[in-house]
Amino acid sequence: MFRTKLKLKLSFYVLIMLVIAFCTSSFTYKQVKIPLNNDNGVPFYKDELAYYIDGFDIDKNGNFYFLGGENAILACFTGENLKFRKTFTEFESNQIYLLDDKIYLFDDMFNKNNLFCLDRNNGNIISRNQNILKNSVNSFLFRDTSLIMEIFNNQKNIDMSTELGIVLFSLTGKFIKQVNNVYNLPSNLNPKSRQVQFLGQWNDDYVYWDYDLDNRLCKFILRNKKGEIIATKNIDQKVFGRVFYGNPIEHRKLRNGSIYILGHDEKEVIITELPLKELFNK
């Protein structure tokens, strides 16, 4: 049985934020709800099939950052307050990555392959590295202090021996080396299926997400350095709301000792925070 710890409603004309903490006998989580609104709420895109948010991240202070909309709109929220909002024409909406006081964004649309660095306090562009490679990009993600890309071997400026290769770039747009997998993990820790997402490292252990389609369960998995499973937790997808389309890996983030899951109910974004200590009883 769930217990509501906190519920806050603001007036109709201002941003509404609900913070509800739920407790069950097996795990604890907290939810924040913010309206989906391209004028003063969370930017998004909607078609006849689904809702889309391309970029989502959380900084060290717990502020939420969203990038979405038909135009690239960056919005930052501190609690119920909109900290800043900025619209860009320099790049298309895509994944975002926060590191220290900077936001990184890679725009691979139409093979532009431009890497941007923004100020996380106001969204201003600090630097841009244009056309950092000429190969076509199949997929990419940010990890630690690098950009990892799965690219096609069309022999533009990186020539590989396979049709698809994986390369590691610095956050200043410099090629470092080729790597063996999209997470640049040791083979015993790399997911065996593309469905499984590596969320990040927690202390000396490694955290993963998987999905049980038959039972509609989100599966959270903790492995040690040897790759052995040391803890698991299954949670009904209903807890997180409906899923967003766009960049699925953006909708699950490990930050500040918690997993953040992004969902929606067609009117509001639902951000669910799962503290790892409670989730895995460690």
| Each residue's pLDDT tens digit, 171-223 | 999 999 999 999 999 999 999 998 999 999 999 999 999 999 999 999 999 99
Backbone angles phi, psi at 104, to 5 degrees: -110, 140
Instruction: Tell me whether strands 114-119 and 102-107 are parallel, antiparallel or unpaired.
Output: antiparallel
Domain that holds residue 200: 18-131+185-279
**Two tokens, residue 15:** 């941003």
Task: Decide if 167 is inside a domain.
Answer: no
Alpha carbon distance 75, 272 (integer Å) = 18
User: Which of 13-27, 94-108, 110-124, 222-236 has the weakest average pLDDT?
Assistant: 13-27
Question: Would you say residue 25 has pLDDT above 90?
Answer: no
Question: Would you say residue 6 has pLDDT above 60?
Answer: no
Q: What percent of the chain has pLDDT over 90?
A: 78
The number of folded domains in the chain is: 1
- pLDDT per residue over 115-145, tens digit each? 999 999 999 999 999 999 988 999 999 999 9
Task: Decide if 43 is inside a domain.
Answer: yes
Task: Decide if 11 is inside a domain.
Answer: no
Task: Decide if 168 is inside a domain.
Answer: no
Q: Which residues contact 30 (CB under 8 A, 6 or more apart)?
A: 19, 20, 21, 22, 272, 273
Task: Decide if 38 is inside a domain.
Answer: yes
Cα-based distances in Å from 124 to 56, 104, 121: 17, 12, 8
Alpha carbon distance 17, 7 (integer Å) = 9
> Residue 181, exposed/middle/buried by CB under 10 A (0-12, 13-18, 19+)?
middle
DSSP H/E element including 279 = helix 276-279
How much is the average pLDDT of 47-71?
A: 95
Residue whose entry in the numeric block shows the structure tokens 């071997």: 153
Task: Decide if 138 is inside a domain.
Answer: no
**Residue 249, SS3 per DSSP:** helix
Counts for the chain of helices (H) and strands (E), in that order: 1, 24
pLDDT the model gives residue 153: 75
Task: Decide if 70 is inside a domain.
Answer: yes
pLDDT the model gives residue 8: 35
Alpha carbon distance 56, 74 (integer Å) = 10
Task: Decide if 13 is inside a domain.
Answer: no
